[in-house]
Amino acid sequence: MTRLQEEFAQSVARLIQKASQLGYGVTFGEAYRTPEQAALNAAKGSGISNSLHTERLAIDLNLFKDGMYITDDQGHRTLGVWWKTLGPKYRWGGDFKTKDFNHYSISPDGVRA
Ligand SMILES: [Zn+2]
């Protein structure tokens, strides 16, 4: 798993560079999440308990255009498409049933988000 976590970190570095090239500002949202927090989120209905955030395989990135925080898929869609070209296990939250545009992950089993 460590190997995949390292690949994920390196890929996120490229993702941030890509966002910058496209003219977007980027700040960190949530990356690592404790299992305790994931369980609390799930209880509130705002996340899932076995989130890939708990395995250091997911990150939420905030995008800005001209200083304005982006709340829809602007920018994320282009980045999501690019992210998925990096490998078959790469997932973007904009493809989820419950849209999560700023979420980028590597799913080791191709199932979890
Ligand atoms: Zn997320």
Residue 59 C-alpha to ligand 1 middle, in angstroms?
Answer: 5
Residue 33 C-alpha to ligand 1 middle, in angstroms?
Answer: 9
Q: Is the pTM of this model over 0.75?
A: yes
Residue 73 C-alpha to ligand 1 middle, in angstroms?
Answer: 14
> Do the beta carbons of residue 52 and residue 58 sit within 8 Å?
yes
Rounded Cα distance, 68 and 11, in Å: 25
DSSP letters, 3-28, are HHHHHHHHHHHHHHHHHHHTT-EEEE
Each residue's pLDDT tens digit in the chain (113 positions)?
799 999 999 999 999 999 999 999 999 999 999 999 999 999 998 888 889 999 999 999 999 999 999 999 999 999 999 999 999 999 999 999 999 999 999 999 877 77
Residue 105 C-alpha to ligand 1 middle, in angstroms?
Answer: 8
Residue 21 C-alpha to ligand 1 middle, in angstroms?
Answer: 23
Residue 57 C-alpha to ligand 1 middle, in angstroms?
Answer: 10
